[in-house]
Amino acid sequence: MLTEFPVVDPVGPAQAAMPEATRVIAEFIAPAATAVDQSGVPRSHWDRLAEADLLPVGRSTAQTREITELLAGADASTWFCWAQHASPTNLIAGAEQTSENPDLPSLRARYLPDLRSGALLAATAFAHVRRPGPPNPVAVRTPTGWQVSGTLDWVTSWDIADVVQIMVRGSGPDQDRFLCFLLATRERIEGLTVGPPLQLLAMSGTHTRPVQLHNLHVPTERVIAVLDVPTWQAQDALRTAQASPAIFGLIRAGLAELQVIADSGSGRRQVAELLERGVQDCRALRAAAYALTDADDTTASGIATALDLRAAVLDLAVQVATSVITQRAGAAMLTGCSAERRLRETMFLQVQAQTAATRQAMNARALDRPHRFRGTGSTLGTEMVEPTSLVAVTEHR
């Protein structure tokens, strides 16, 4: 019988292994993945990860990547709630005090220790600022702070988070500024209305809800930072161009399941060949993607290369998830099967942190994909044209 989170790991970690993280995630998080997908991430998952010192803050880059890969491969919904915590925590820790956030030291003293320890769980809402068109929500300055109105389409972790960091664009003379503020989700907040959980194709377990803001008053003491829009957008363009470790986590888990199938099922030689090719591509793409991220190349050429790599990684994730579906056959059509859940999670990552640039890179890759049949005129022939490997395509581009 195939396990939900196979103990085999043909890809392996990018750098040093983390046995304790592997054990906690395999024993505590992975077995609940089906239930989480149906009913939501329990707060106990966050508490257990915090107890094991497996938070998305306070770790080296290599360790954070490994935890991300393991967690996303075991249960992407839990990973996504876990990952939200980093942005608010890092912003509160790293923001510079100015005349626009004079109470930052008090905010930091009140929340930062518990955010770093995991006693508090933070959510964040900022994806809407990437959306084209007029800003929504918008913030207007007042004598005592700001007034915010509009809609937050997606706020993840709302049901289990203690605080949420919200980013909105200013208006009028502040249209080139982003207001970042912190709210306590468990308090009654006048001017804030929370909608029902979104019914999503994938990741419904993330407690993602829409939130309406109606002339919400944000006092100065709740302001974390007021950021320059062009500077933030330049930083975000680099972040969103990079391949997320979570994608490698899903690929890694899918290939682990293929390993189990290759070791126990029919058609072993062909599945083993698929597995070998997938492992080679995953390792090569991961090494290239992480090296490029570490280089912090902000040039147009560097970002273009990162976008190509990201598109290649997402393409590989779809191929691996589809291969597992094919091998599992009819069993993969049953709700709750790990194969169908990971395929849906892979679809989510196709659009998560998507921008016009990432979408164009993915479209370009799809258009460049070699045809399987060579035809004459409008009639398809039968001569097969073998597609080159993902790595070769990426290197060629």
Query: What pLDDT was estimated at residue 280?
Result: 96
Query: What pLDDT was estimated at residue 377?
Result: 43
Same domain assignment for residues 139 and 263: no
Query: What pLDDT was estimated at residue 270?
Result: 85
> What CATH code is carried by the domain that includes residue 343?
1.20.140.10
> What CATH code is carried by the domain that includes residue 163?
2.40.110.10
Same domain assignment for residues 197 and 261: no
Whether residue 102 has a cis bond before it, omega within 30° of 0: no
The tally of domains found in the chain comes to 2
How far is the first Cα of the chain from the last one, in angstroms, to the nearest whole number?
A: 42
Same domain assignment for residues 313 and 222: no
- Of 228, 251, 273, the residue that ends a domain is 228
Tokens coding 5: 């989170």
Query: What pLDDT was estimated at residue 50?
Result: 96
Per residue in 90-129, pLDDT tens?
Answer: 999 999 999 999 999 999 999 999 999 999 999 999 999 9
Instruction: Show Cβ contacts of residue 198 under 8 Å, excluding neighbours closer than 6 positions.
Output: 154, 204, 208, 209, 210
Same domain assignment for residues 252 and 223: no
Tens digit of pLDDT per residue, the chain (397 long)?
333 444 689 999 999 899 999 999 999 999 999 999 999 999 999 999 999 999 999 999 999 999 999 999 999 999 999 999 999 999 999 999 999 999 999 999 999 999 999 999 999 999 999 988 999 999 999 999 999 999 999 999 999 999 999 999 999 999 999 999 999 998 889 999 999 999 999 999 999 999 999 999 999 999 999 999 999 999 999 999 999 999 999 999 999 999 988 888 666 888 889 999 999 999 999 999 999 999 999 999 999 999 999 999 999 999 999 999 988 766 667 677 788 899 999 999 999 988 889 999 989 998 887 755 444 443 333 333 333 343 433 333 3
Residue 63 carries which side chain, given as an amino acid letter?
Answer: Q
Same domain assignment for residues 312 and 340: yes
**pTM over 0.95, yes/no:** no
Tokens coding 26: 């395999």
Same domain assignment for residues 382 and 276: yes
Q: Map residue 333 onto helix, strand or coil.
A: helix
Domain-located, residue 283? yes
Same domain assignment for residues 248 and 374: yes
Domain-located, residue 148? yes
Q: Quote the domain boundaries for residue 163.
A: 97-104+121-228
- Of 197, 228, 259, the residue that ends a domain is 228
Tokens coding 273: 């060949």
Same domain assignment for residues 373 and 280: yes
- Of 179, 197, 228, the residue that ends a domain is 228
Same domain assignment for residues 159 and 200: yes
Q: Which residue has the tokens 């707060």?
A: 43
Same domain assignment for residues 328 and 293: yes
Q: What is the C-alpha separation between 30 and 327, in angstroms, rounded?
A: 21
**Helix H or strand E segment including 167:** strand 163-170
From 4, 5, 22, 2, select the one nearest 13 (Cα to Cα): 22
Domain-located, residue 29? no
Q: What is the C-alpha separation between 165 and 194, in angstroms, rounded?
A: 15
Domain-located, residue 40? no
Q: What is the C-alpha separation between 71 and 372, in angstroms, rounded?
A: 36
Same domain assignment for residues 283 and 198: no
Domain-located, residue 234? no
Alpha helices by DSSP H, the chain: 19-24, 33-39, 43-51, 61-74, 76-84, 86-94, 104-117, 229-241, 245-264, 268-295, 300-328, 338-351, 356-368, 390-396
Same domain assignment for residues 127 and 218: yes
Q: Map residue 22 onto helix, strand or coil.
A: helix
Q: What is the C-alpha separation between 273 and 69, in angstroms, rounded?
A: 23
Domain-located, residue 237? no
Q: Which residue has the tokens 């089906």?
A: 34
Q: Map residue 371 onto helix, strand or coil.
A: coil
Domain-located, residue 383? yes
Number of Cβ within a 10 Å radius of residue 84 = 23
Domain-located, residue 88? no
